[in-house]
Amino acid sequence: MATGIKDKVAILGMGCSRFGERWDAGTPQLLAEAFEEALADAGIERARIEAAWYGSGVEAVNVGNSCIPAAMALRLDGIPVTRVENMCATGTEALRGACYAVASGAVDIALAIGAEKLKDTGYGGLPTMFKGTFNDLWMPLGSAPAGFAQLAAGYRAKHGTSRDDLKRAIGHVSWKSHQNGMLSPKAHLQKAVTMEQILEAPMIAEPLGLFDCCGVSDGAAAAIVTTPEIARALGRRDMVTVKALQLSASSGVESGTNTWDGSHVRTTRAAAGRAYREAGITNPREQLDLIEVHDCFSITELVTMEDLGISADGQAVKDVLDGFYDRDGQGVPCQVDGGLKCFGHPIGASGLRMAYEVYTQLLGRAGQRQVKAPSIGLTHNLGGVPYLGVAAISVLGLHA
């Protein structure tokens, strides 16, 4: 019977490039920036890495659809390297591949790395990633802001939330991220924004204003993973292990039937439920110390709090406005590095960037944005749109 991978994989080292408009670097340079930090953190030679998983979302504007550019950039000579893509969950998918390889005993040390170079494309948002059936049949005239604005409409309809209350809550989500982003030296945006600026910003897709939407950027992030036994043999005392890694993909039931009410994201709930069982979490509101979620839009973050079971259904608005998710609040700090809102969203890197922040916090290395004595954290990616997509969850924690 399957037992999952809880505590079978330790993170030996992690790295993250500076995110932003990186006119100074191409994708190979971004990969190297993240990889070199991870390698130094791991304290091993490059030759110890036995396999690698490389995540990139948009091959047409990045480095192509094979593993070769990553292998060349990082001088991964002769080892198996696999390129993966799973919409906006691509970074976590790369981590899943590396962790599963170690947990299975196939390799001792593996690399997960993801990167995206989006600012050179001349395109204002994410380029069209999903050719064929997905775009042509399911969302031929759709856009990301419109798709997630529908989530707000569904949420209001189900819970009877007033427009003003929801607008103030999602405004607080964006305000919080900008406050945190000021303390993140690798973030794309490091400037505070007032609530007045957020609430009075131009409308993009009702109720999402300009500051309710994350941008795109260039960036890379990496993780080197191994077994706890090998990490200990290499002298690692404070150790972060993977408690759970779960992924859920939509079958299309949300769009093709009337069983979904539009107020939540089914794939997030499915992945979170499995991740909690794997990690042994029975009360996420009390047991999680920090979270990094896929705040592509502020409404997404708010709804995700309920999908993760941290806020009760219909109560996320109150929790957000009460400061439950603020860095210095009395609840579960969310987006303590500024999230997608301040880092932007280089697709292949985002999931690993979230893991990098949780890892950094767990080891007490986060400087001014450090939360108090965390022992377990969660990351969440959401690819596609609420009514058709994929969700990925990782739970990371200090190893006893």
- Taking only the tens place, the pLDDT of each residue in 338-393 is 999 999 999 999 999 999 999 999 999 999 999 999 999 999 999 988 877 899 99
Whether the predicted pLDDT of 148 surpasses 80: yes
First to last CA, the chain: 25
| Distance (Å, whole) CA 164 – CA 335 | 24
Residue 256 predicted with pLDDT over 80: no
Residue 137 clears pLDDT 90, i.e. is over it: no
**pTM exceeding 0.85:** yes
Amino acid at 304: T
Pairing assessment for the beta strands 51-55 and 81-84 based on DSSP bridges = parallel
Q: What is residue 123's predicted lDDT score, i.e. its pLDDT?
A: 61
Is the pLDDT at 16 greater than 60? The verdict is yes
DSSP line for 146-184: HHHHHHHHHHHHHHT--HHHHHHHHHHHHHHHHHHHTT-
3 state SS of 33: helix
Pairwise pLDDT comparison (104 vs 129), residue with the higher score: 104
Structure tokens at 114: 């993801």
More confident residue, 321 or 215: 321
Candidate list 172, 264, 345, 399, residue with the active-site label = 345
Q: Is the dihedral of CA 140, 145, 146, 148 positive or negative?
A: positive
- Cα radius of gyration (the chain): 20
**pLDDT on residue 140:** 52
pLDDT band, very low/low/confident/very high, at 1 (cuts 50, 70, 90): confident
CA distance 282 to 267: 19
Shortest CA distance to 6 belongs to which of 392, 376, 386, 334? 376
Contacts of 133 (CB under 8 A, 6+ apart): none
Range 201-226 average pLDDT: 94
Region 10-126+218-241: CATH code: 3.40.47.10
The verdict on whether 88 is a catalytic residue reads yes
Amino acid at 138: W
What per-residue confidence (pLDDT) applies to 109?
Answer: 98
pLDDT at 220: 97
Q: Chain centroid to CA 336: how far?
A: 13
What are the angstrom distances between the C-alpha of 333 and each of 6, 89, 241, 310? 23, 22, 20, 11
Say which DSSP state 270 is in.
H
Element (H, E) at 14: strand 10-16
Task: Tell me, yes or no, if 172 is annotated catalytic.
Answer: no
Q: What is the CATH number of domain 140-214+242-398?
A: 3.40.47.10
pLDDT digits (tens, 9 = 90+) for 191-202: 989 999 999 999
pLDDT at position 73, please? 92
383 three-state secondary structure: strand
Domain ranges of the chain: 10-126+218-241, 140-214+242-398
Residue 155 contacts by C-beta under 8 Å, 6 or more apart in sequence?
161, 166, 262, 263, 264, 299, 302, 303
The whole-number average pLDDT for the span 64-86 is: 90
What integer pLDDT is reported at residue 147 of this predicted model?
A: 82
**Which DSSP state fits 20?**
B
Task: Give the pLDDT score at 62.
Answer: 64
Q: Return the H-helix or E-strand segment holding 224.
A: strand 218-226
What pLDDT sits at residue 67?
85
Give the pLDDT of residue 254. Answer: 81
DSSP structure string for 66-129: SSHHHHHHHT--SS-EEEE-BTBTHHHHHHHHHHHHHHHTS-SSEEEEEEEE-TTS--SS----
Predicted confidence at residue 283, as pLDDT, reads: 98
107-135: pLDDT as tens digits: 999 999 999 988 876 666 666 554 555 55
Task: Give yes or no for residue 216 having a pLDDT over 60.
Answer: yes
| pLDDT at site 233 | 97
Question: Which of 16, 67, 88, 213 does the annotation list as catalytic?
Answer: 88
- The CA-CA-CA angle for residues 358, 113, 65, to 5°, reads 140
- The angle subtended at Cα 337 by Cα 335 and Cα 342, nearest 5°, is 90
Q: What is the DSSP string of 303-349?
A: HHHHHTTSSPTT-HHHHHHTTTTSTTSSS--B-TT-HHHHH---HHH
